[in-house]
Amino acid sequence: MSSKVNIKDIVYGHLGTLSKVDGGWSWYDFLTFCFVPVAFSTVSVIIGFSLNKDVSSLLVNFGAIFTALLLSVLVLVYDQESKLDDKHQRDTELKRPVDAFYAAKKKLLDELYYNISFSILSSLVLIATCFAFSMADSFADPKATSVSASLILTKLVFTPITVFVTVNLLLTIVMIVKRLHSLLRPK
């Protein structure tokens, strides 16, 4: 795979943020961001939920809008990190007391970078999955009485994947908002 489209570092970086403050692995974070979306996906299959064109269209719009918004937030994070580094360097050069929370803020900004990048990728996966669903759905025969390959794809593949990505994306966005609030709230 070309290094220009290799997303492994972003995914691993995001998974690395699912940790406790001390750096240890957090099972609660793992359960929240992995098990909860899997549970929703499983329930969607069990109850027979299937995407339709309206829901797919709504999710494509959601993914597209959040991709644009998250790119803007990514620029904000970069700007905040640059300002933090500049202030730290000035304080060090002028032998002024440095911010006691510099390392914590820097770590939080790095984690936000990975979380936002992962959310952008998740939005793109959501859009691609909805596109694949639309393609498979267009081949489905609404009058068919037997189970077709496109029906299996839409109900057992694209619907659970879409539900998983959507729930995971929503949870990750909530985490991003909480982290941005912690970082940017007035002291």
The Cα–Cα gap between 24 and 6 comes to 27
Tokens of 162: 């879409």
**Mean of all residue pLDDT scores within the chain:** 88
- What is the structure's pLDDT at 144? 58
Q: What is the pLDDT of residue 128?
A: 95
- Whether the pLDDT of residue 96 is over 80: the answer is yes
More confident residue, 149 or 54: 54
Query: 137's torsion region: left (phi>0), alpha (psi -120 to 50) or beta?
Result: alpha
Pick from 3-7, 61-65, 90-94, 153-157 the range whose average pLDDT is largest.
61-65
pLDDT-derived band at 30 (thresholds 50, 70, 90) equals confident
DSSP SS3 for 25: strand
Domain-by-domain residue ranges, the chain?
A: 8-184
Q: Which residue, among 87, 169, 173, has the nearest Cα to 127 in the 3D structure?
A: 169
Confidence of residue 75 (pLDDT cuts 50, 70, 90): very high
Which pLDDT score is estimated for 95?
Answer: 85
% of residues, the chain, pLDDT over 70: 93
Residue 173 in this model has a pLDDT that exceeds 60: yes
Residues 103-125 pLDDT 10s: 888 999 999 999 999 999 999 99
Question: pLDDT tens digits, residue range 34-53?
Answer: 999 999 999 999 998 888 88
